Amino acid sequence: MGSTLRANDASAPFKVLVVGGSYGGLAAAFNLSDLCLGGAARAAAGYEGQDGLPKENTPIHAEITLVDERDGFYHVIGSPLVFADKPYAEKAWVPYSEVPALKESPNIKTVHGSVTSVDMASKTAVIQETAPAGGATRTVSFDFIIVAAGLRRAFPVIPQSGDKAAYLAEVGPHIEAVTTAQDGVLVVGGGAVGIEMAAELKLAQPNIKVTLAHSRSRLLSSEPLPDELAEKTLEILRENGVEVLLEHRLQDTRDIEGTNAKEVTFTNGHTLRVNAVVVAISNNTPSTSFLPAEALNDEGYIKIQPNLFFPTNVPNYDSALAGGDIVQWSGIKRCGRAMHQGYLSAHNCHQRMQELTFGTPAKYQILKEVIPMIAIALGPNALAFATGGELQYGKDIAERFFNDDVGFNICWKILGMGSKAETKI
């Protein structure tokens, strides 16, 4: 860490590139924006009593560029309801141009495009803009990069579109198919996503017969969660009217001639007649193909240090941070974890900026190990569990963790999407 201080004024702002504008990336951009404007980070109110989170700062000039392949915030955790309910689908995607806090932030701009490569030695990145955004391929330089590009997930776990109009056109036929299915809908996969898809579909469309098939003898079989949780989940699903078939591995689906129905065959010989099959299994892969290999583990996750900076073998590692689903860290991948890591990335980036500008030694926040914890939305009910604690479930848990919109407003508020940034510059 050199001894010459870096000039920082309106003509020489820190250029910060944030890759990914979902829970992790928005938390990083908004909180860094607040800190650079001289105030407390908007997330800090949720961390009362914790040391080392300043309420006031000397303003720092920064230009934060948030790049995302989508043209807006998509509420990923609402996907199970998005695919079952048109009005909710409309609500679950908010173009960045309509997010009040982005409109008001003087030091954040958004780019609709994809980051296709990053060179850490020269601190440059290539951005491929989408056609509506101009379609240009640009190489940009940065002082800091914060990577929150999450996981690639398949349809219909999440929609694949890049803009809101295309998204509504993409999910519309799916919603139509599952809401008019006289012979019922089969959801395949008894992990958290399949369970929520079956539950939300039954809630939104109570007259539709919903069947959930899972290949194993227990739901949630690939998560480090206790049997008690899996059993309670099964009980609530059945109470809500979802038929659950355990030890049913999908073998084949064929259209029944002259009808709009399908016959589904399982490897145990059981057959089922339905109108729609929703495969809620996705081999998620981290969206890190644009990053140098030395930053990644064998599965492609970023090997962050506990202070969220890149590993020390990467050139200029102290200019790059990452958070959210894309990093190698303990705990089940959750949006709360992503927002927390986004905030800490912002805090630590700002600490390093202060060190470079004023010579103040950086005081980094350090990530703690995260125990397995989960909250599952099951229509009007929900379950919540953290290892070592008690299993909680019921309507009050649904209210606390998801409210009546699968957590949309809760996340909106935690991220501070509607609040006004204070400015001292």
Ligand X SMILES: Cc1cc2nc3c(=O)[nH]c(=O)nc-3n(C[C@H](O)[C@H](O)[C@H](O)COP(=O)(O)OP(=O)(O)OC[C@H]3O[C@@H](n4cnc5c(N)ncnc54)[C@H](O)[C@@H]3O)c2cc1C
**DSSP bridge pairs for 302:** 296, 327
CB 117 within 8 A of CB 290: yes
| Cα diameter, the chain | 78
Alpha-carbon span 71 to 340, nearest angstrom:
23
73: left (phi over 0), alpha (psi -120 to 50) or beta: beta
Q: Confirm or reject binding of residue 291 to ligand X (CB under 6 A).
A: no
Please provide the size of the chain in residues: 425
Indicate whether 71 belongs to the interface with ligand X (CB under 6 A). no
Residue 72 in contact with ligand X, rule: CB under 6 A: no
Among 115, 277, 295, 417, binds ligand X (CB under 6 A): 115
Q: Give the interface size with ligand X as a residue count (CB under 6 A).
A: 38
Report if residue 114 touches ligand X, rule: CB under 6 A.
Answer: yes
325 belongs to the binding site for ligand X (CB under 6 A) = yes
378 in contact with ligand X (CB under 6 A) = no
Residues 350, 356, 358, 363, CA torsion sign: positive
For residues 141 and 360, which CB has a smaller minimum distance to ligand X in the complex? 141
Q: Verify binding: residue 233, ligand X, rule CB under 6 A.
A: no
The count of other CB atoms within 10 Å of the CB of residue 283 is: 8
Which of 47, 290, 317, 412 is close enough to bind ligand X by CB under 6 A?
290
Kindly tell me which residue out of 39, 72, 80, 159 binds ligand X, with binding defined by CB under 6 A: 80
Among 99, 335, 344, 398, binds ligand X (CB under 6 A): 335
Residue 21 is a binding residue for ligand X (CB under 6 A): yes
225 touches ligand X (CB under 6 A): no
Instruction: Tell the smallest beta-carbon distance from residue 125 to ligand X (Å).
Output: 9
Residues 141-180 that bind ligand X (CB under 6 A): 148-151, 153, 157-158
Strand ranges inside 69-184, DSSP E: 72-74, 93-95, 108-119, 124-129, 137-141, 144-147, 151-152
Smaller CB distance to ligand X: residue 39 or 72?
Answer: 72
* Contact criterion met (CB below 8 Å) for 310 and 218: no
| Per CB under 6 A, 19 contacts ligand X | yes
What is the rounded distance in angstroms from the CA atom of residue 16 to the CA atom of residue 145?
A: 6
Smallest separation, CB 126 to ligand X (Å): 10
Are 322 and 291 contacting, i.e. CB atoms less than 8 angstroms apart?
Answer: no
Query: What does the binding site for ligand X look like in residue numbers (CB under 6 A)?
Result: 19-25, 67-70, 76-77, 79-80, 114-115, 148-151, 153, 157-158, 193, 196, 287, 290, 324-326, 333-336, 338, 375, 377
